[in-house]
Amino acid sequence: MKKYLSFLAFAAILSSCQTSENTEVDYTQMSDEERLEIAKEIAQNTIMVDGHVDLPYRMKVGGFTLQREILDVSVRTPDGNFDFPRAKEGGLDAPFMSIYIPAGNQQIPGASKALADSLILMTERLAETFPDKFAMAYSPADVEANFAKGLVSLPMGMENGAGLEDDISNVEYFHQRGIRYITLTHGKANLIGDSSYDSLRPHGGLSEYGEQVVKEMNRVGIMVDLSHVSDETFKDALAITQVPVIASHSSARKFTPGFERNMSDELIQAMAKNGGVMMINFGGSFIDSAYAAGSSKVREHLVNYMAENNLSRSDSAFRVYAESYAAANNPFPSVQKVADHIDHVVNLVGIDHVGFGSDFDGVGDSLPTGLKDVSMFPNLIAELLKRGYSKEDIEKICYKNIFRVWQAVEDYAKK
Q: Which helix (H) or strand (E) covers residue 268, if one does?
A: helix 265-274
Map residue 159 onto helix, strand or coil.
strand
* Per-residue pLDDT reduced to its tens digit, 347-364: 999 999 999 999 999 998
- Residue span(s) of the chain under CATH 3.20.20.140 come to 46-285+342-368+394-414
Map residue 95 onto helix, strand or coil.
strand
Count of positions (residues) in the chain: 415
The number of C-alpha atoms within 13 Å of 38 and in the hemisphere containing its C-beta is 31
Q: List phi, psi (to 5°) of 316.
A: -60, -35
Say how far apart CA 385 and CA 89 lie, in whole Å: 19
Neighbour count for residue 312 (Cβ, 10 Å): 8
38 in Cβ contact with 382 (< 8 Å): yes
Say how far apart CA 49 and CA 94 lie, in whole Å: 5
* Per-residue pLDDT reduced to its tens digit, 282-309: 999 999 988 877 777 878 888 898 988 9
Residue 96 Ramachandran class (φ > 0 left, ψ -120 to 50 alpha, else beta): beta
- Identity of the amino acid at 343: D
Q: List phi, psi (to 5°) of 143.
A: -60, -45
Question: Helix, strand, coil: what percent of the chain each, to 5?
Answer: 55, 10, 35
Fold classification of 46-285+342-368+394-414 is TIM Barrel (3.20.20)
- Identity of the amino acid at 107: Q
State the pairing for strand pair 179-183/246-247: unpaired
Low-confidence ranges of the chain (pLDDT < 50): 1-12, 15-22, 65-68
For residue 301, what pLDDT is reported?
Answer: 84
For residue 62, what pLDDT is reported?
Answer: 73
The pTM (predicted TM-score) of the whole model is: 0.89
For residue 332, what pLDDT is reported?
Answer: 83
Q: List phi, psi (to 5°) of 152.
A: -85, 120
| Radius of gyration in angstroms for the set of CA atoms belonging to the chain, rounded to a whole number | 22
Beta carbons within 8 Å of 343's beta carbon, 6+ residues apart: 387
Q: List phi, psi (to 5°) of 141.
A: -60, -40
For residue 333, what pLDDT is reported?
Answer: 87
For residue 70, what pLDDT is reported?
Answer: 61
- Identity of the amino acid at 30: M
237 in Cβ contact with 263 (< 8 Å): no
For residue 11, what pLDDT is reported?
Answer: 47
Say how far apart CA 81 and CA 60 lie, in whole Å: 15
Map residue 328 onto helix, strand or coil.
helix
Neighbour count for residue 165 (Cβ, 10 Å): 19
For residue 64, what pLDDT is reported?
Answer: 52
End-to-end CA distance of the chain: 64
- Identity of the amino acid at 69: E
Strand boundaries in 12-122, DSSP class E: 49-53, 94-100
Neighbour count for residue 36 (Cβ, 10 Å): 18
397 in Cβ contact with 342 (< 8 Å): yes
Say how far apart CA 196 and CA 188 lie, in whole Å: 8
Exposure string for 257-289, b = 16+ CB within 10 A, e = fewer? eebbbbbeeebbebbbebebbbbbbbbbbbbbb
238 in Cβ contact with 211 (< 8 Å): no
Q: List phi, psi (to 5°) of 180.
A: -120, -5
The number of C-alpha atoms within 13 Å of 319 and in the hemisphere containing its C-beta is 4
